[in-house]
């Protein structure tokens, strides 16, 4: 049974980006469906039917079974909603203050099922969640979801007929090829012409008239920043160091300054150099990797690569990385394409920009499909560091990853970290939590049992269920 905090006959929880109250007493209200669509298209959430949304007082549902039947009938009516995401375990009846309530747990739709829309209209019936409200998706947001939902082509393979090969920086291409040659002297592409090489790595492609143009991957990897921004107006790469502990940065690398080419490749090189230098390393060996790399250097670089490979360059925000004395943060536009627990387990590869990933693999980055996050977790385990926190926002869509460089010390820190993992991914397993936090499972089980005994967390639905955090 779902546990809610009730004080003086009122729910203490307020509506949020993952919780909504509906005051329906008999029939399912029309405003249920925009929230269903919004939760499905954003992060998922819980709808509690039979609660006054202004006072948060239970008003009850007169006939729960009738309402649930109506819900199932409409969920399976293609005219009402295009996708039914619910299974029987997602709907339950609870009793609060002597009144029956219907609780509907709406899962986050996986990318291939988005957009989830209602009333037969994708343009007018697609919603997303922002705070405690549902809002109509814009045409741009719809295009982003449709682009993400497709498996037939990748966004970075698109041919940019408005761009020219001259928009690619020859120095970046030469530097990339030199790194590839050092890393793999016998690679069959080393002796190819630049045009042939760019074609083989997917950086250029012919249009219908047989003329070569850069692809999205090509211009992002090797283009000048002003050429990239002509196609992606919000494109911005920013790296800042705050190593003196103050609020002002002491070092910065940023596109648009003219101090470096401004493409993805040159950004990785520049930032990798800074990460290594700040960790007391400098000698270059293989591609961007170094002979004296440490695990923490590789983890920071992997976070940066993940952000660049998974960014939505059509998004409203740029990519930002910050190095501080006790942390490394990376933010990229676009939300996660696979659930966080699958990322933690590794072995599942679904990059938003697969051609960029392939290019980076040639110089020793993004080599093992689906292993990036799990490798970082393994590093944290070995070094006694907490698992990096993942925070997604919906307006605009971003993913922010923060890697703490301090080992765990206090028990309360660990409890808060466990709860944070459950908030981020309610279906996360104990094995994944233990792995992500670098804890032995028996110790984690004791901490989770203590949290359950204190009422801070609850397991709903058994082994195939989810975690509920009671703030």
Enclosing domain of residue 266 = 165-407
160 within a domain of the structure (yes/no): no
In the chain (471 residues long), the average pLDDT of successive 10-residue segments reads 72 90 93 97 95 93 96 95 95 93 95 95 95 92 90 84 96 96 95 96 94 97 96 96 84 92 96 88 52 78 93 93 93 88 72 92 72 78 81 89 74 73 83 76 86 85 79 60
1 within a domain of the structure (yes/no): no
Same domain, 228 and 279: yes
* pLDDT of 395: 83
Give the domain-ending residue among 386, 407, 428. 407
461 within a domain of the structure (yes/no): yes
Residue 431 CA: distances (Å) to CA of 155, 340, 418, 442: 34, 13, 12, 10
Give me the CATH number covering residue 431: 1.10.10.10
Locate 377 and state its tokens. Answer: 């977790």
63 within a domain of the structure (yes/no): yes
Same domain, 427 and 457: yes
Give me the CATH number covering residue 108: 3.30.950.30
Same domain, 187 and 262: yes
Do residues 24 and 67 lie in contact, with contact meaning Cβ atoms separated by under 8 Å?
A: yes
Give the domain-ending residue among 365, 382, 407. 407
Same domain, 204 and 352: yes
Cα-trace Rg, the chain:
25
Report the C-alpha gap between 456 and 18 in whole angstroms. 17
Same domain, 132 and 28: yes
Same domain, 377 and 453: no
Same domain, 60 and 106: yes
* pLDDT of 286: 44
Same domain, 297 and 423: no
Give the domain-ending residue among 407, 433, 462. 407
154 within a domain of the structure (yes/no): no
239 within a domain of the structure (yes/no): yes
Same domain, 192 and 306: yes
398 within a domain of the structure (yes/no): yes
Same domain, 72 and 184: no
Same domain, 350 and 418: no
Q: Closest Cα to residue 50, out of 38, 62, 39, 37?
A: 62
Give me the CATH number covering residue 219: 3.30.565.60
Indicate the length of the chain as a whole number: 471
Same domain, 171 and 254: yes
Count of domains in the chain?
3
For 297-320, the DSSP string reads HHHHHHHHHHHHHH--TTSSS-EE
Other Cβ atoms less than 10 A from the Cβ of 356: the count is: 31
Exposed/middle/buried for 301, CB within 10 Å: 0-12, 13-18, 19+?
buried
87 within a domain of the structure (yes/no): yes
* pLDDT of 220: 98
């Amino acid at each position: 049974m779902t546990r809610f905090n009730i004080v003086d006959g009122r729910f203490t929880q307020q509506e949020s980006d993952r919780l909504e109250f509906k005051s329906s007493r008999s029939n399912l209200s029309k405003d249920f469906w925009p929230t269903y669509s919004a939760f499905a298209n954003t992060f998922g959430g819980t709808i509690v039917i039979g609660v006054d949304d202004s006072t948060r007082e239970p008003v009850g549902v007169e006939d729960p079974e009738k309402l649930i039947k109506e819900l199932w009938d409409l969920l399976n009516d293609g005219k009402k909603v295009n996708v039914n995401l619910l299974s029987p375990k997602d709907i339950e009846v609870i009793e609060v203050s002597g009144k029956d309530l219907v609780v509907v747990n709406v899962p986050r739709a996986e990318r291939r099922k988005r957009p989830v829309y209602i009333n037969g209209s994708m343009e007018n019936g697609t919603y997303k969640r922002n705070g405690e409200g549902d809002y109509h998706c814009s045409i741009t947001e719809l295009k982003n979801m449709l682009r993400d939902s497709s498996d037939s082509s990748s966004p970075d393979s698109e041919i940019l007929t408005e761009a020219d090969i001259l928009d690619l920086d020859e120095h970046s291409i030469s530097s990339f090829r030199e790194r590839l040659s050092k890393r793999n002297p016998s690679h069959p592409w080393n002796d190819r012409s630049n045009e042939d090489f760019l074609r083989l790595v997917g950086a250029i492609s012919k249009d219908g008239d047989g003329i070569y143009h850069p692809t999205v991957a090509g211009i992002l990897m090797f283009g000048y920043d002003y050429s990239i921004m002509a196609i992606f107006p919000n494109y911005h790469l920013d790296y800042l160091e705050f190593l003196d502990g103050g609020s002002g940065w002491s070092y910065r690398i940023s596109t648009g300054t003219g101090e470096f080419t401004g493409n993805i490749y040159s950004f990785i090189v520049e930032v990798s150099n800074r990460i290594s230098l700040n960790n007391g390393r400098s000698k270059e060996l293989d591609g961007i990797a170094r002979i004296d790399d440490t695990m923490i250097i590789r983890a920071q670089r992997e976070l940066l690569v993940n952000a660049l490979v998974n960014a939505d360059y059509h998004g409203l925000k740029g990519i930002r990385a910050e190095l501080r004395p006790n942390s490394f943060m990376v933010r990229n536009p676009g939300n996660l394409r696979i659930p966080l627990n699958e990322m933690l387990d590794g072995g599942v590869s679904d990059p938003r920009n697969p051609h960029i990933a392939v290019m980076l693999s040639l110089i020793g980055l993004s080599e093992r499909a689906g292993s990036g996050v799990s490798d970082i977790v393994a590093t944290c385990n070995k070094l006694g560091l907490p698992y990096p926190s993942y925070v997604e926002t919906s307006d605009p869509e971003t993913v922010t990853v923060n890697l703490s460089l301090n080992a765990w010390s206090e028990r309360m820190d660990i409890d808060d970290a466990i709860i944070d993992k459950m908030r981020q991914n309610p279906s996360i397993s104990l094995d994944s939590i233990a792995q992500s936090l670098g804890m032995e499972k028996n110790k984690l089980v004791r901490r989770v049992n203590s949290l359950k005994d204190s009422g801070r967390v609850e397991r709903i639905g058994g082994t195939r269920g989810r975690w509920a955090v009671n703030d």
